[in-house]
Chains A and B, each alone.
Chain A
Amino acid sequence: MKRNLKTAIIISAILVIAGAAAGYYFYNLKPKDLGKIKPDFYVTSAELQRSFEEDEEAAISRYVDKIIEVSGVVSDINPGENSTMNISLKTDNNFSSVICTLTSEVLPEEIRVGSRISIRGVCSGYLMDVLLNNCVISGGSL
């Protein structure tokens, strides 16, 4: 009986420690590094923007919160606040692009307006443009 009690105490102590460790681990979890995760979708910037323009509700349920690898031609590069960089990709609509916020302010030198590139990011939705966040350049300039 005594031994059982001792075992029970040890097991509960282990559980408590494991629980605290797991809690601490999840609490400190950083946003995912998308460079290491397979995208849910591969699309062109024109295709992605068209989906949102034509049927926003359908595009939201298909793409939002998903990892998307989008390819297109760079139309604009804007350094952001706090070490970020926004890259816009051209679409068929002159007033609407795909805006990708990179987690790094360092761009490979060969990427400039007019470059054809692929970017991986998480889709946040549609404002006037399709917005991707937590982005990384995948494969660089093609």
Chain B
Amino acid sequence: MKRLIGLSLLTMLTFSVSAQRYMTKNGFISFFSHTPMEDIKAENNQVAGVIDTSNGEMVFQVLIKSFHFERALMEEHFNENYMESDKYPKAIFKGKITDLKSVDFEKNAEYEVVVEGDISIHDVTKKIAVKGTIEVVTGGLKANTKFIIAPEDFNIKIPAVVRENIAKTVEVTVVMKFDPV
């Protein structure tokens, strides 16, 4: 299954037509959890993503183990106890810009978009719709979004002893700079 997803992403790239597809392997996703007890932040600079400007489809994937925390122990607990990253090593989003006509990929500007799709984390897939921006720049595309997800929705169990320290919902930030394929 893992291999199939990797392969499909690669196939999308390999058989791409002209500059209708943009990709990056150096995208950024972070998440932030705030409680009165403490703030927890993790960052991942190895996000792979593809956008097809002809139909607005996009695919993002990350390795859970590429998320980094300020404290080593948090990273260990995140991987071993909450995300079970040995069992579920990847998170994937597959979606589509809902109103593709609102973006002119020929004209440098920032466009507000809504992207709908399926997000898979910890072997649970959910429908999600997020607001974000697509910025058309010379020789590339930038995509930014912020949205909220709840660990509970993805069957991620937080032990009672740290429940006060980890927020019910976390804010996810995505910053991508795509190059034409």
Q: Which of B2, B28, B71, B89 contacts A80 (CB 8 A)?
A: B28
Query: Is A86 in contact with B9, judged by CB distance below 8 angstroms?
Result: no
Query: Is B63 in contact with A101, judged by CB distance below 8 angstroms?
Result: no
* A77 to chain B: closest residue by CB: B26
Chain A, 113-127, contact with B by CB distance < 8 Å: what is the 0/1 string? 000000000001111
Query: Is A29 in contact with B73, judged by CB distance below 8 angstroms?
Result: yes
A78 contacts the other chain (CB 8 A) = yes
Segment at the B interface, from A7-15, A34-42, A43-51, A128-136 = A128-136
Distance to closest chain A CB from B161 (angstroms):
12
Q: Which of A31, A60, A81 contacts B45 (CB 8 A)?
A: A81
Distance to closest chain B CB from A133 (angstroms):
6
Distance to closest chain A CB from B116 (angstroms):
23
Contacts of A129 in B (CB 8 A): 25, 48
B68 contacts the other chain (CB 8 A) = yes
Q: What is the total number of residues of chain B having a CB less than 8 Å from a CB of chain A?
A: 30
Query: Is A80 in contact with B45, judged by CB distance below 8 angstroms?
Result: yes
Q: Give CA–CA (A101, B65) in the complex, Å.
A: 13
B36 contacts the other chain (CB 8 A) = no
Q: Which of B10, B63, B71 contacts A124 (CB 8 A)?
A: B63
A28 contacts the other chain (CB 8 A) = yes
Give the total number of A-B pairs whose CB atoms are below 8 A apart.
Answer: 82
Chain A, 1-22, contact with B by CB distance < 8 Å: what is the 0/1 string? 0000000000000000000000
Contacts of A86 in B (CB 8 A): 26, 45-46
Query: Is A124 in contact with B25, judged by CB distance below 8 angstroms?
Result: no
Query: Is B10 in contact with A95, judged by CB distance below 8 angstroms?
Result: yes
B166 contacts the other chain (CB 8 A) = no
* A85 to chain B: closest residue by CB: B45
Query: Is A56 in contact with B26, judged by CB distance below 8 angstroms?
Result: no
Q: What is the total number of residues of chain A having a CB less than 8 Å from a CB of chain B?
A: 31
Query: Is A124 in contact with B46, judged by CB distance below 8 angstroms?
Result: yes
Query: Is B3 in contact with A56, judged by CB distance below 8 angstroms?
Result: yes
Query: Is B26 in contact with A80, judged by CB distance below 8 angstroms?
Result: yes
Q: Give CA–CA (A17, B62) in the complex, Å.
A: 41
A99 contacts the other chain (CB 8 A) = yes
Query: Is A81 in contact with B175, judged by CB distance below 8 angstroms?
Result: yes
Q: Give CA–CA (A131, B45) in the complex, Å.
A: 10
Chain B, 32-56, contact with A by CB distance < 8 Å: what is the 0/1 string? 0000000000010110100000000
Q: Which of A31, A32, A78, A134 contacts B26 (CB 8 A)?
A: A78
Query: Is A127 in contact with B72, judged by CB distance below 8 angstroms?
Result: no
Task: In the A-B complex, list the 3 residue pairs whose CB atoms are closest, starting with the nearest.
Answer: A124-B65, A80-B45, A81-B28
